[in-house]
Amino acid sequence: MGIPCVGGKVSFYNETRQGAIKPTPLVCVVGLVEDHGYGSRIMKSHAGDGDLLMIIGLTKEEMGGSEYYEYIHSILSADVPRVDLEYDKHARDALLALVRAGLVTSAHDCSKGGLAVAIAEMCIASGIGARVDLSNVPHTCTRLDDLLFSESHSRFLVSLRRDDLDAVNRVLADYPVHRGVIGAFNSDSLLLEYKGSSISISMDSMLDSYSSIARLMGHGG
């Protein structure tokens, strides 16, 4: 991966008053963020009105350990996401190349909570809703909820100016990664569409759920 690891730990015994936590491997890495004047510190909050939304990476049917399975279905067992280190390196290099070329306005990892949560977080951070066609998401899922909430590794969401789409595709052509333009930021709500069905979530509703301390604390108990 080309990243220096300065520490590591695997915890099989960590308990609170509520009980034991899951086995938790931890790895500490360090690195420098060089500022070349092209906006190298890309955040998830800088998507602009009219920007396109693109996903880099492949969503798989890997629901084990996911927030969705634990908090909606009370399931802890199932296939957990597997890491393909070679693919992960390609995906990260592709994202870095786009950032260095000044071709993305914002970026966000797609991890805890899955694709649906990552998109909602970008909308909340930017203050702009989005219209998303889930049919354009590269995936191997057979269920819609798996597509929305799988926590497969090596996935990133980026926003980009419409005029930069051709340049973005030229850069990504050098990397063996899945990608797809899945929507655009141009709304006051989040609209998710899939094979003729759709669901709309208002910005206020997303913000209320995201910032509710009581709701978040309830997850821990």
Listed by start position, the domains of the chain span 42-220
- Most distant pair of Cα atoms in the chain: their distance: 54
| Residue 11 clears pLDDT 80, i.e. is over it | no
Residue 77's pLDDT is: 74
Residue 13's pLDDT is: 63
Core vs surface per residue 45-54: b (16+ CB within 10 A) or e: ebbeeebbbb
Q: 3-state class of 23 per DSSP?
A: coil
Predicted model pTM: 0.86
Residue 63's pLDDT is: 94
Topology, domain 42-220: Phosphoribosyl-aminoimidazole Synthetase; Chain A, domain 2 (3.90.650)
Tens of pLDDT along 92-102?
A: 999 999 999 99
85: which 2 tokens? 């280190």
Question: What average pLDDT does this structure show over 182-197?
Answer: 95
| Residue 108 clears pLDDT 50, i.e. is over it | yes
Residue 214's pLDDT is: 54
Tens of pLDDT along 134-160?
A: 999 999 999 999 999 999 999 999 999
Residue 42's pLDDT is: 76
